[in-house]
């Protein structure tokens, strides 16, 4: 497998990653789970920098799911501390590197200071035109879809939308990802083969890639390898491959 960067033309437009395996990475080393999350942040930095260097248009990272609140309070607090540091310390680099940063998810449950940081990151990078880096943070796809359904229903009730005109595109415009193309490639680390409530609508035609590497070990080279694997996948979007057409 080559670790050369695939040609610009064969790059996916949008890569989304389910970062999994921090806890197991720590356990293998007889370290507390918190150490796995700390190492996970370093992997986030590596992958974000690689995406920028390669010229990827869109990178979305599943940082904290709406179900992750069910974890022990100490772990949630530690993760929130890591998000605080990341949003506060890395934003300058992202601004300088022309990254547009977005956060998708519910903003009602996070601490007010984190919400302010998120808004600050989004505001400071809003005019940037390079890589779109999106963090799914307190995100759940079912909640997102239900909220879009509520928005559509409200518009119908107000007489602003004719139900006959509700198409997939009209619906997708009410999702949190309305400004992003659908992911072409979804990577999940740690050997688990699930989407875990991540981008369920948007994943309709995504290529799925499950790798055994635990997230803290997911390196720039492995990211490039994943992009190479993608460039060899045949995508048909429900149609036939050209050679199958008589
Ligand atoms: C899954 O590992 C990972 C998470 C629940 C959180 C992801 C968080 C990070 C990568 C670090 C912080 C990120 C940013 C953007 C600052 P797990 O704990 O479920 O691992 P396990 O399945 O092995 O227990």
Ligand 1 center from residue 207 Cα (angstroms): 22
Report the distance separating Cα 87 and Cα 29, nearest Å. 28
Q: Using alpha carbons only, how large is the chain's radius of gyration in Å? A: 19
Q: Is 128 designated active site?
A: no
Q: In percent, how much of the chain has pLDDT > 90?
A: 90
Provide the 8-state DSSP code for 182: P
Q: Is 182 designated active site?
A: no
* Greatest distance between any 2 Cα atoms in the chain: 61
Rounded to the nearest 5°, which phi and psi values hold at 35?
-65, -35
Q: Would you state the torsion angle of the CA atoms of residues 173, 166, 235, 211, taken in this order, to the nearest 10 degrees? A: 60
Tens digit of each residue's pLDDT (9 = 90 or more) over 122-166 = 999 999 999 999 999 999 999 999 999 999 999 999 999 999 999
The neighbouring-strand residues paired with 207 are 185
Give me the residue label for tokens 């928005």: 151
Ligand 1 center from residue 200 Cα (angstroms): 19
Query: What mean pLDDT, rounded, does the chain reach?
Result: 95
Sequence-distant (6+) residues with CB within 8 A of 140 are 65, 66, 67, 105, 106, 197
- pLDDT value at residue 182: 98
User: Which overall architecture, per CATH, does domain 9-139+181-231 show?
Assistant: 3-Layer(aba) Sandwich (3.40)
Q: Where are the domains of the chain?
A: 9-139+181-231
pLDDT at residue 236 greater than cutoff 80? no
Report the distance separating Cα 192 and Cα 15, nearest Å. 18
pLDDT at residue 45 greater than cutoff 80? yes
Q: Whose CA is nearest to atom 24 of ligand 1?
A: 23
Selected catalytic residue, list 22, 53, 58, 68: 68
Tens digit of each residue's pLDDT (9 = 90 or more) over 182-222 = 999 999 999 999 999 999 999 999 999 999 999 999 999 99
Quote the strand ranges of 21-159, DSSP E. Answer: 58-65, 100-104, 132-139
The neighbouring-strand residues paired with 139 are 65
29, 74 contact by CB (below 8 A): no
pLDDT at residue 245 greater than cutoff 90? no
161, 152 contact by CB (below 8 A): yes
Q: Which of 41, 44, 40, 64 is nearest to 140 (CA)?
A: 64
Provide the 8-state DSSP code for 163: G
Report the distance separating Cα 111 and Cα 113, nearest Å. 6
Tens digit of each residue's pLDDT (9 = 90 or more) over 2-29 = 568 888 768 999 999 999 999 999 999 9
């Amino acid at each position: 497998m080559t670790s050369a960067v695939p040609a610009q033309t064969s790059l996916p437009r949008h890569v989304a990653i389910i970062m999994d395996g921090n806890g197991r990475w720590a356990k293998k080393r007889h370290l507390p789970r918190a150490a796995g999350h700390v190492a996970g942040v370093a992997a986030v930095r590596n992958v974000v920098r690689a995406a920028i260097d390669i010229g990827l248009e869109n990178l979305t990272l599943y940082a904290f799911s709406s179900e992750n609140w069910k974890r022990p309070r100490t772990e949630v607090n530690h993760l929130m501390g890591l998000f605080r540091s990341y949003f506060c310390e890395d934003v300058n680099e992202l601004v300088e590197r022309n990254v547009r940063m977005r956060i998708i998810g519910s903003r009602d449950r996070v601490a007010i200071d984190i919400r302010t940081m998120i808004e600050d990151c989004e505001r400071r990078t809003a005019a940037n035109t390079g890589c779109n880096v999106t963090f799914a943070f307190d995100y759940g796809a079912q909640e997102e879809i239900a909220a879009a359904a509520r928005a559509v229903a409200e518009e119908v009730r107000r007489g602003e939308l004719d139900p006959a005109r509700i198409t997939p595109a009209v619906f997708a415009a009410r999702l949190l990802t309305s400004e992003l193309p659908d992911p072409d490639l979804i990577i999940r680390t740690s050997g688990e083969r699930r989407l875990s409530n991540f981008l369920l609508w948007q994943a309709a035609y995504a290529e799925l890639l499950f790798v055994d590497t635990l997230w803290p070990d997911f390196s720039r080279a492995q990211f490039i390898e994943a992009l190479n694997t993608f460039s060899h996948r045949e995508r048909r979007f429900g149609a036939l491959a050209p050679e199958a057409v008589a």
